Amino acid sequence: MNDLVRQHTALSDTDLEWLHLLVSEWQLLSDLSFADLVLWVPTRDGTRYVSVAQMRPNTGPTSYQDDMVGHLVPRGRRPMLDVAHDEGRIVREGDPEWREEVPVRVESIPVRRDGRVLGVIARNTNLLTVRTPSRLELTYLQSASDLAQMIAAGSFPFPDQQVDMDASPRVGDGLIRLDADGVVQYASPNALSAYHRLGLAADLVGHHLGVTTAELAPSRGPVDEALSKVASGWAPREFEIEGNDGVIQLRAIPLKPKGTRIGSLVLLRDVTELRRRERELITKDATIREIHHRVKNNLQTVAALLRLQARRIESERGREALEEAVRRVGSIAIVHETLSQTLDERVEFDEIADRVLAMVAEISPGKVTGRRIGRFGILDAEVATPLSMVLTEILQNALEHGFGPGDTGTVEVSAVRGGTSQEIRLLVTVQDDGVGLPEGFDPHRSGNLGLQIVRTLVEGELGGTFDMVRAPERGTQVVLDIPVRAEK
163-172, 260-269, 321-330 — most confident range: 260-269
Tens of pLDDT along 74-95?
999 999 999 999 999 999 877 8
- The whole-number pLDDT of residue 439 equals 78
Beta pairing partners, 58: none
What number is the average pLDDT over the span 207-212? 90
What number is the average pLDDT over the span 96-117? 90
Question: Using CB atoms within 10 A of its CB, is residue 395 exposed (0-12), middle (13-18) or buried (19+)?
Answer: buried
- CA Rg value for the chain: 34
d(CA 159, CA 78): 30
What number is the average pLDDT over the span 20-41? 94
pLDDT over 70 (residue 165): no
What number is the average pLDDT over the span 121-128? 92
Tens of pLDDT along 218-235?
754 445 556 777 788 888
Residue 166 corresponds to which amino acid? D
- The dihedral region occupied by 206, where left means phi > 0, alpha psi between -120 and 50, and beta the remainder, is left
d(CA 295, CA 279): 24
d(CA 307, CA 372): 28
Tens of pLDDT along 241-250?
888 888 999 9
- The whole-number pLDDT of residue 221 equals 45
pLDDT over 90 (residue 137): yes
**Residue with more model confidence, 11 or 97:** 11
Residue ranges of the alpha helices (H) in 199-268? Answer: 209-216, 227-231
Q: Which distant-in-sequence residues (6+ apart) come within 8 Å of 327 by Cβ? A: 359, 360, 363, 392, 396
- Let me know how long the chain is: 488
